Protein backbone atom coordinates (compact mmCIF):
# COMPACT_ATOMS: atom_id res chain seq x y z
CA UNK A 1 0.00 0.00 0.00
CA UNK A 2 1.42 3.40 -1.03
CA UNK A 3 -0.39 6.39 0.39
CA UNK A 4 0.03 10.15 0.00
CA UNK A 5 -1.31 12.33 2.82
CA UNK A 6 -2.14 15.84 1.65
CA UNK A 7 -3.13 18.74 3.87
CA UNK A 8 -2.02 22.14 5.12
CA UNK A 9 0.65 22.59 7.82
CA UNK A 10 -1.06 21.79 11.12
CA UNK A 11 -3.65 19.43 9.59
CA UNK A 12 -2.25 16.57 11.66
CA UNK A 13 -0.40 14.82 8.84
CA UNK A 14 2.57 13.89 11.03
CA UNK A 15 0.46 12.44 13.85
CA UNK A 16 -1.87 10.61 11.51
CA UNK A 17 0.84 9.34 9.16
CA UNK A 18 2.63 7.80 12.14
CA UNK A 19 -0.42 5.86 13.40
CA UNK A 20 -1.51 4.95 9.88
CA UNK A 21 1.90 3.51 9.05
CA UNK A 22 1.83 1.47 12.28
CA UNK A 23 -1.71 0.16 11.58
CA UNK A 24 -0.86 -0.79 8.01
CA UNK A 25 2.64 -2.08 8.77
CA UNK A 26 4.33 0.25 6.27
CA UNK A 27 6.98 2.97 6.66
CA UNK A 28 6.27 6.63 7.42
CA UNK A 29 8.24 8.94 5.11
CA UNK A 30 8.11 12.59 6.17
CA UNK A 31 9.94 15.06 3.93
CA UNK A 32 10.08 17.59 6.80
CA UNK A 33 11.62 15.01 9.19
CA UNK A 34 14.18 13.99 6.54
CA UNK A 35 15.15 17.65 6.06
CA UNK A 36 15.40 18.29 9.82
CA UNK A 37 17.55 15.17 10.16
CA UNK A 38 19.84 16.48 7.40
CA UNK A 39 20.10 19.80 9.25
CA UNK A 40 21.10 18.11 12.49
CA UNK A 41 23.77 16.15 10.65
CA UNK A 42 24.93 19.35 8.89
CA UNK A 43 24.76 17.78 5.44
CA UNK A 44 24.92 20.00 2.35
CA UNK A 45 21.20 19.40 1.77
CA UNK A 46 20.38 20.29 5.38
CA UNK A 47 22.39 23.49 5.25
CA UNK A 48 20.82 24.59 1.95
CA UNK A 49 17.31 23.79 3.23
CA UNK A 50 17.73 25.62 6.53
CA UNK A 51 17.01 29.19 5.46
CA UNK A 52 13.97 28.20 3.36
CA UNK A 53 12.53 26.23 6.27
CA UNK A 54 13.11 28.97 8.84
CA UNK A 55 11.19 31.39 6.64
CA UNK A 56 8.34 28.96 5.99
CA UNK A 57 9.19 28.73 2.29
CA UNK A 58 9.39 25.56 0.21
CA UNK A 59 12.81 24.01 -0.38
CA UNK A 60 13.57 23.86 -4.17
CA UNK A 61 11.92 20.95 -5.98
CA UNK A 62 15.11 19.34 -7.33
CA UNK A 63 16.58 18.91 -3.82
CA UNK A 64 13.39 17.43 -2.40
CA UNK A 65 12.72 15.14 -5.33
CA UNK A 66 16.22 13.60 -5.16
CA UNK A 67 15.88 13.07 -1.41
CA UNK A 68 12.50 11.33 -1.70
CA UNK A 69 13.49 9.19 -4.70
CA UNK A 70 16.44 7.90 -2.70
CA UNK A 71 14.19 7.23 0.33
CA UNK A 72 11.46 5.32 -1.51
CA UNK A 73 14.13 3.18 -3.15
CA UNK A 74 15.40 1.80 0.16
CA UNK A 75 14.59 -1.78 1.12
CA UNK A 76 12.23 -0.91 4.02
CA UNK A 77 9.98 1.01 1.61
CA UNK A 78 9.42 -1.97 -0.69
CA UNK A 79 6.35 -3.07 1.31
CA UNK A 80 4.73 0.36 1.00
CA UNK A 81 4.76 3.74 2.72
CA UNK A 82 2.80 6.77 3.85
CA UNK A 83 4.21 9.96 2.29
CA UNK A 84 3.78 12.92 4.63
CA UNK A 85 4.64 16.40 3.34
CA UNK A 86 5.57 15.24 -0.16
CA UNK A 87 4.57 16.08 -2.84
CA UNK A 88 3.95 19.77 -2.13
CA UNK A 89 3.95 21.13 -5.69
CA UNK A 90 2.56 19.85 -8.99
CA UNK A 91 6.17 19.51 -10.26
CA UNK A 92 6.98 17.21 -7.31
CA UNK A 93 3.84 15.15 -8.02
CA UNK A 94 4.84 14.77 -11.68
CA UNK A 95 8.39 13.76 -10.70
CA UNK A 96 6.98 11.20 -8.24
CA UNK A 97 4.68 9.76 -10.92
CA UNK A 98 7.66 9.43 -13.30
CA UNK A 99 9.85 7.82 -10.62
CA UNK A 100 7.12 5.32 -9.74
CA UNK A 101 6.52 4.49 -13.38
CA UNK A 102 10.22 3.72 -13.83
CA UNK A 103 9.92 1.36 -10.86
CA UNK A 104 6.70 -0.23 -12.15
CA UNK A 105 4.82 1.02 -9.08
CA UNK A 106 1.88 3.30 -8.38
CA UNK A 107 0.15 5.21 -5.58
CA UNK A 108 -2.91 3.44 -4.15
CA UNK A 109 -4.53 6.28 -2.19
CA UNK A 110 -4.24 10.05 -2.00
CA UNK A 111 -5.93 11.30 1.16
CA UNK A 112 -6.60 15.01 1.56
CA UNK A 113 -7.07 16.22 5.16
CA UNK A 114 -9.19 19.40 5.27
CA UNK A 115 -8.86 21.93 8.13
CA UNK A 116 -9.94 25.62 8.25
CA UNK A 117 -7.31 28.36 8.35
CA UNK A 118 -8.43 29.62 11.80
CA UNK A 119 -7.99 26.17 13.29
CA UNK A 120 -4.53 25.80 11.69
CA UNK A 121 -3.21 29.01 13.23
CA UNK A 122 -4.44 27.94 16.69
CA UNK A 123 -2.93 24.47 16.35
CA UNK A 124 0.52 25.48 15.10
CA UNK A 125 0.96 28.15 17.77
CA UNK A 126 0.84 25.63 20.65
CA UNK A 127 2.74 22.79 19.01
CA UNK A 128 5.66 20.99 20.69
CA UNK A 129 7.62 18.12 19.13
CA UNK A 130 9.82 15.40 20.56
CA UNK A 131 13.40 15.89 19.45
CA UNK A 132 14.06 12.13 19.57
CA UNK A 133 10.97 10.48 18.02
CA UNK A 134 9.21 13.50 16.42
CA UNK A 135 5.90 12.82 18.18
CA UNK A 136 3.91 16.07 18.19
CA UNK A 137 2.04 17.47 21.23
CA UNK A 138 -0.23 20.49 21.70
CA UNK A 139 -0.33 22.69 24.79
CA UNK A 140 -4.13 22.58 24.86
CA UNK A 141 -5.34 19.57 22.84
CA UNK A 142 -2.77 16.89 23.57
CA UNK A 143 -0.24 17.92 26.25
CA UNK A 144 2.42 15.44 27.40
CA UNK A 145 2.00 13.85 30.85
CA UNK A 146 5.17 15.58 32.09
CA UNK A 147 5.88 19.06 30.81
CA UNK A 148 8.70 19.18 28.27
CA UNK A 149 9.05 15.38 28.09
CA UNK A 150 7.82 12.85 25.51
CA UNK A 151 5.35 10.22 26.82
CA UNK A 152 6.74 7.59 24.45
CA UNK A 153 10.51 7.94 24.74
CA UNK A 154 11.21 10.59 27.46
CA UNK A 155 12.83 12.74 24.72
CA UNK A 156 13.03 16.50 25.09
CA UNK A 157 10.13 18.51 23.58
CA UNK A 158 10.92 21.63 21.52
CA UNK A 159 9.06 24.20 19.43
CA UNK A 160 9.94 24.38 15.77
CA UNK A 161 11.34 27.72 14.57
CA UNK A 162 8.87 27.73 11.72
CA UNK A 163 5.97 27.47 14.22
CA UNK A 164 6.63 31.12 15.18
CA UNK A 165 3.65 33.26 14.12
CA UNK A 166 5.15 35.02 11.09
CA UNK A 167 6.43 31.78 9.58
CA UNK A 168 3.08 30.10 10.34
CA UNK A 169 1.14 32.64 8.25
CA UNK A 170 3.69 32.31 5.47
CA UNK A 171 3.45 28.50 5.49
CA UNK A 172 -0.33 28.69 5.27
CA UNK A 173 -0.05 31.14 2.35
CA UNK A 174 2.57 28.97 0.63
CA UNK A 175 0.21 26.02 1.03
CA UNK A 176 -2.68 27.92 -0.58
CA UNK A 177 -0.54 29.08 -3.50
CA UNK A 178 1.75 26.13 -4.20
CA UNK A 179 0.29 23.00 -2.61
CA UNK A 180 -3.50 23.45 -2.88
CA UNK A 181 -3.30 23.06 -6.73
CA UNK A 182 -2.24 19.46 -6.02
CA UNK A 183 -5.74 18.73 -4.75
CA UNK A 184 -7.07 19.47 -8.27
CA UNK A 185 -4.18 17.50 -9.78
CA UNK A 186 -5.10 14.35 -7.83
CA UNK A 187 -8.86 14.77 -7.32
CA UNK A 188 -9.81 13.32 -10.70
CA UNK A 189 -7.66 10.22 -10.20
CA UNK A 190 -8.90 6.95 -8.72
CA UNK A 191 -7.89 6.47 -5.09
CA UNK A 192 -8.43 10.14 -4.12
CA UNK A 193 -10.33 10.64 -0.83
CA UNK A 194 -11.22 13.77 1.11
CA UNK A 195 -11.31 13.57 4.94
CA UNK A 196 -12.52 16.12 7.52
CA UNK A 197 -9.51 16.91 9.72
CA UNK A 198 -11.31 18.96 12.39
CA UNK A 199 -12.44 16.15 14.70
CA UNK A 200 -10.41 14.69 17.56
CA UNK A 201 -7.18 12.84 16.75
CA UNK A 202 -9.04 9.52 17.20
CA UNK A 203 -11.97 10.55 15.00
CA UNK A 204 -9.65 11.67 12.21
CA UNK A 205 -7.62 8.46 12.57
CA UNK A 206 -10.79 6.37 12.14
CA UNK A 207 -11.84 8.35 9.05
CA UNK A 208 -8.37 7.95 7.56
CA UNK A 209 -8.25 4.22 8.19
CA UNK A 210 -11.68 3.87 6.56
CA UNK A 211 -10.40 5.91 3.62
CA UNK A 212 -7.44 3.59 3.00
CA UNK A 213 -9.10 0.27 3.81
Catalytic residues: 13, 88, 127, 160, 171
Report the alpha-carbon distance of residue 84 to residue 96 in Å, rounded: 13
Out of 8, 12, 32, 197, point to the residue binding ligand AMP (CB under 6 A): 32
Rounded least distance, CB 74 to ligand AMP, Å: 18
Q: Provide, rounded to whole angstroms, the least separation between the CB of residue 130 and ligand AMP.
A: 14
Say if residues 128 and 158 touch (Cβ distance below 8 Å).
yes
**First-to-last CA distance in the chain?**
10
For the segment 65-94, give every residue that binds ligand AMP (CB under 6 A).
85-88, 92
Helix (H, G, I), strand (E, B) or coil at 73: coil
Query: Residue 175 interacts with ligand AMP (CB under 6 A)?
Result: no
Instruction: Determine the interface stretch with ligand AMP among 30-38, 75-83, 118-126, 130-138 (rule: CB under 6 A).
Output: 30-38
Give the strand pairing for 27-30 and 81-84. Answer: parallel
Footprint of ligand AMP on 131-170 (CB under 6 A): 162
Long-range contacts of 25-28 (CB under 8 A, 24+ apart): 25/79, 26/1, 26/2, 26/79, 26/80, 26/81, 26/82, 27/76, 27/77, 27/79, 27/80, 27/81, 27/82, 28/81, 28/82, 28/84
For ligand AMP, the closer of residues 104 and 135 by Cβ is 135
Cβ of residue 56: shortest distance to ligand AMP, in angstroms? 6
User: How much of the chain is in helix, strand and coil states, percent to nearest 5?
Assistant: 50, 15, 30
Total number of residues shown for the chain: 213
Determine the size of the site formed for ligand AMP (CB under 6 A).
Answer: 18
Stretch near ligand AMP under the rule CB under 6 A, chosen from 57-65, 103-111, 117-125, 129-137: 57-65
- Chain residue at closest Cβ approach to ligand AMP: 32
Binding site for ligand AMP (CB under 6 A): 9, 31-32, 35, 52-53, 56-59, 64, 85-88, 92, 162, 171
Amino acid sequence: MRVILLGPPGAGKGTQAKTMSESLGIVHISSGDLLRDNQERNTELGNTARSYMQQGLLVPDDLIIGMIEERIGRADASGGYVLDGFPRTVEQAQALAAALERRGESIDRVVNIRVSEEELVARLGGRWICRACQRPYHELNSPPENEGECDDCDGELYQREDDASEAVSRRIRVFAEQTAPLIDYYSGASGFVDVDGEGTIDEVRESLLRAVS
